[in-house]
Chains A and B, each alone.
Chain A
Amino acid sequence: NAGVTQTPKFQVLKTGQSMTLQCAQDMNHNSMYWYRQDPGMGLRLIYYSASEGTTDKGEVPNGYNVSRLNKREFSLRLESAAPSQTSVYFCASIKEGSGGETQYFGPGTRLLVL
């Protein structure tokens, strides 16, 4: 049971390049989220997916697209990277229950855009 996995761990891009960040969970959760974390700030929600086949914008969606390929996988795509997208990206999978929700986070992808 690996929990939430993310690839790659690190990436350096040049302005204008594209890339896809991968996230997978093996806990059979319906909801998955993508966040970005910037120095001295909390997490900001980019996109979320409440169930397979659905995606919705979060707080900071501009410059990103997502795809919920199946229940396990939720990818984040940067079509044309900008220096402002330098950040640490976290994927989370959400367990809903009678005791409220629990978010399980991946280890993060550190992205530098030059």
Chain B
Amino acid sequence: GNSVTQMEGPVTLSEEAFLTINCTYTATGYPSLFWYVQYPGEGLQLLLKATKADDKGSNKGFEATYRKETTSFHLEKGSVQVSDSAVYFCALKSSANAGKSTFGDGTTLTVKP
């Protein structure tokens, strides 16, 4: 079946540091890949997505590239801010699984001033 493995947290960084959150996946077919962000007390929001190999999703300074050869979709940001503190979820959706999404366990990021 499908699965998503995320880098374990929590991750604590200083403001303006470089961020990488690793995500690897196992899926049948050709899944779409997503990163969601969840701020405290809120629901998940789509951060970025990529629908085919070598696509790069980007939003709000975050980027992730769909790497089929390494089955990865790592999230990066060059300079984090305190306001980026949140929980980040990697997810995939595969048409081979009746379109249902599979989520990773989430990585908590805390950015200190």
Contact = CB atoms under 8 A, between A and B. Distances in A.
B18 to A, nearest CB: 25
Given A43-B89, A58-B100, A106 B46 contact: no
Interface in B59-103: 89, 91, 93, 98-103
Contacts of B42: 107-108
B35 to A, nearest CB: 12
A90 B41 CA distance: 12
Interface in B31-75: 32, 36, 41-46, 49, 51
Could you tell me the dominant secondary structure of chain B's interface residues?
strand
Interface residues of B, number: 23
In this complex, the interface size class of chain A, counting residues with CB under 8 Å from chain B, is: 20 to 34
Contact of B103 (A43, A56, A99, A107): A43
Interface of A: 4, 40-45, 48, 50, 56, 58-59, 90, 92, 99-108
